[in-house]
């Protein structure tokens, strides 16, 4: 029996021992889903607090119910560790480490490199490795393959198997989950793709196998670039409508009645989250090295990153109308998370808006039912304890994240002035004398 046949057999009968490296928003749900499928799962992370919580059967990710973690931990099917030497005993491993940007805006692959270097010490014949972290096309073959196989004569496709499979998780979403969202996989060789497909098919309903790791890497970047560019377009529509005195929300709703050829995107205070503002820049960076400018990405990024400043201008102009300067005025920012009903602050435009308002001398407070306090780049704040009291006393309320927990009618009745960047108040074309819409 070849190494591949043996691996396929233990994957199909689910006796393979599997591991997930990087237990964050992507890695923890994946570890749980693999345990649901009956695999023996070891989660590996550098952060001991996460490992301790996991081993106590607790969840630290909003979308992963503690009950599901506890069930598997108690059954001995799921455990966490910071000790990478367990990889010696592992047959199949997924890597879900962060891929942020450096301060310069260039890709920061240091987490993939360090996880790959650690894995290299334990790579053994008959192992399958899948990279899940979003990255530019070529990373799996050009960076990961030589790193994990350094110092060995193991060959990808015969001795071990390497593939890329982008994660599509949408935090806070209930209808599309890790299990029922189709998963794209592309191998370094056809056999690598086949082995990774057989593994993931045990736990995930639909697998879409593409011909190469590069196609899988590019698929993720097409998806996220599509969103980024369309959000950039609709944000620019909002800026144009503002100049023209047209209600962009009414225009979007009207356009969305077209039953074909139109897909609805909505403007907002700026991009947020770990994917849409960042991933397309991995692609444009890679293309720059090939002397090509990814024009749509650059332009959309420029429009989207300008939105927080536009929101601050709206606040300033609205206060000015009432004879108040922004400096010294009390501004209450509603919602700090980057999108509704989640507790994720990463790249949230609320952070830029708060910083810009503070720079201009406003007295800024925020409220977020999901984020009681935050400490970001030296900016430390706590959510106001009494929402309605804060709304009443603010000179201006800026709705930045339209959490569903808010009673918008009460907020409208209590506030002197509101800048609504999400059309959360749904006022329609008639508007309201105390409300300025994006
Ligand atoms: N969060 C999302 O919604 C989402 C969606 C799709 C794709 N992605 C992509 O998935 C990847 C992971 O994102 P995330 O949101 O889960 O990140 P995260 O920061 O929530 O989790 C990453 C985890 O990796 C750990 N880690 C870092 N270096 C490590 C190492 N060398 N060894 C072991 N563990 C290490 C960190 O401690 C952390 O727990 C990124 O590339 C991201 O772009 C994220």
Residue listed under structure tokens 């959490």: 403
- pLDDT tens digits for range 304-333: 999 999 999 999 999 999 999 999 999 999
Ligand 1: residues whose CB is within 6 Å? 21-27, 44-47, 50, 96-99, 111, 114-115, 132-134, 167, 169, 171, 274-275
Which ranges of 306-368 does DSSP label H, i.e. alpha helix? 307-321, 349-359
- pLDDT tens digits for range 118-130: 999 999 999 999 9
pLDDT at 72 over 90: yes
- Nearest CA to 395 out of 362, 421, 367, 422 is that of 362
pLDDT at 169 over 90: no
As a whole number of angstroms, the distance between CA 167 and CA 185 comes to 10
Average pLDDT over residues 86-96: 97
- What residue's CA is closest to ligand 1, atom 41? 133
Confidence of residue 171 (pLDDT cuts 50, 70, 90): confident
- pLDDT tens digits for range 255-300: 999 999 999 999 999 999 888 989 999 999 999 999 999 999 999 9
Confidence of residue 429 (pLDDT cuts 50, 70, 90): confident
Burial class for 373, CB neighbours closer than 10 Å (0-12, 13-18, 19+) = exposed
The confidence score (pLDDT) of residue 174 equals 87
Catalytic residue among 96, 241, 275, 396: 275
pLDDT at 3 over 80: yes
In degrees, rounded to 5, the angle at the alpha carbon of residue 164 between the alpha carbons of residues 5 and 1 is 5
Confidence of residue 182 (pLDDT cuts 50, 70, 90): very high
The confidence score (pLDDT) of residue 245 equals 93
User: Do residues 438 and 413 make contact, with C-beta atoms less than 8 angstroms apart?
Assistant: no
- pLDDT tens digits for range 377-395: 899 999 999 999 999 999 9
Ligand 1 center to 165 CA (angstroms): 14
pTM higher than 0.85:
yes
As a whole number of angstroms, the distance between CA 32 and CA 42 comes to 10
Q: Which phi-psi region, left, alpha or beta, contains residue 291 (left: φ > 0; alpha: ψ -120 to 50)?
A: left
pLDDT at 159 over 80: yes
- Closest approach atom of ligand 1 to CA 171: 3
As a whole number of angstroms, the distance between CA 430 and CA 433 comes to 9
Ligand 1 center to 326 CA (angstroms): 39
Ligand 1 center to 332 CA (angstroms): 32
pLDDT at 62 over 90: no
What does DSSP assign to residue 367? E
Task: Based on the residue annotation, tell me whether 96 is a catalytic residue of this protein.
Answer: no
Average pLDDT over residues 243-254: 95
Rounded mean pLDDT of the chain? 96
3-state secondary structure of 42: strand
């Amino acid at each position: 029996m070849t190494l591949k046949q043996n691996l396929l057999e233990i994957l199909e009968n689910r006796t393979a021992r599997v591991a997930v490296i990087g237990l964050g928003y992507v890695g923890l749900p994946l570890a749980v889903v693999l345990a649901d499928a009956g695999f023996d799962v070891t989660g590996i992370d550098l952060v001991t607090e996460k490992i301790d919580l996991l081993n106590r059967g607790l969840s630290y990710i909003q979308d992963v119910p503690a009950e599901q973690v506890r069930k598997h931990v108690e059954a001995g099917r799921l455990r966490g560790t910071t000790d990478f030497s367990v990889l010696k005993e592992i047959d199949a491993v997924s890597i879900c480490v962060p891929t942020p940007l450096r301060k310069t805006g260039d890709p920061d692959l240091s987490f993939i490199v360090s996880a790959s270097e650690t894995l290299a010490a334990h790579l053994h014949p008959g192992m399958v490795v899948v990279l899940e972290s979003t990255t530019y096309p070529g990373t799996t073959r050009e960076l990961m393959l030589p790193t994990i196989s350094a110092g060995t004569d193991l060959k990808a496709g015969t001795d071990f198997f390497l593939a890329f499979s982008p994660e599509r998780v949408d935090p806070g979403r209930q209808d599309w989950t890790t299990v029922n969202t189709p998963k794209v996989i592309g191998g370094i060789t056809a056999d690598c793709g086949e082995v990774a497909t057989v593994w993931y098919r045990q736990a995930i309903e639909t697998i879409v196998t593409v011909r190469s790791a590069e196609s899988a890497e590019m698929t993720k970047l097409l998806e996220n670039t599509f969103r980024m560019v369309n959000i950039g377009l609709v944000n620019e529509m909002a800026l144009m409508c503002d100049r023209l005195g047209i209600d962009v929300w009414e225009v979007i709703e009207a356009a969305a009645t077209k039953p074909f050829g139109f897909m609805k995107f909505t403007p907002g205070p700026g991009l947020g989250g770990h994917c849409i503002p960042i991933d397309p820049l991995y692609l444009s960076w890679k293309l720059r090295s090939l002397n090509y400018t990814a024009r749509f990405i650059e332009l959309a990024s420029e429009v989207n990153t300008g939105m927080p400043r536009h929101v601050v201008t709206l606040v300033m102009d609205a206060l000015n109308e009432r004879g108040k300067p922004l400096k010294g005025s009390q501004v209450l920012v509603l919602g700090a998370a980057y999108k509704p009903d989640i507790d994720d602050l990463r790249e949230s435009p609320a952070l830029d808006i708060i910083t810009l308002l503070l720079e201009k001398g406003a007295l800024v407070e925020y409220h977020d039912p999901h984020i009681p306090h935050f400490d970001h780049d030296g900016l430390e704040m706590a959510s106001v304890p009494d929402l309605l009291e804060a709304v009443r006393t603010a000179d201006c309320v800026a709705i930045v994240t339209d959490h569903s927990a808010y009673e918008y009618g009460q907020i409208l009745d209590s506030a002197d002035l509101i800048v609504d960047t999400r059309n959360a108040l749904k006022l329609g074309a008639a508007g309201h004398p105390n409300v300025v819409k994006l």
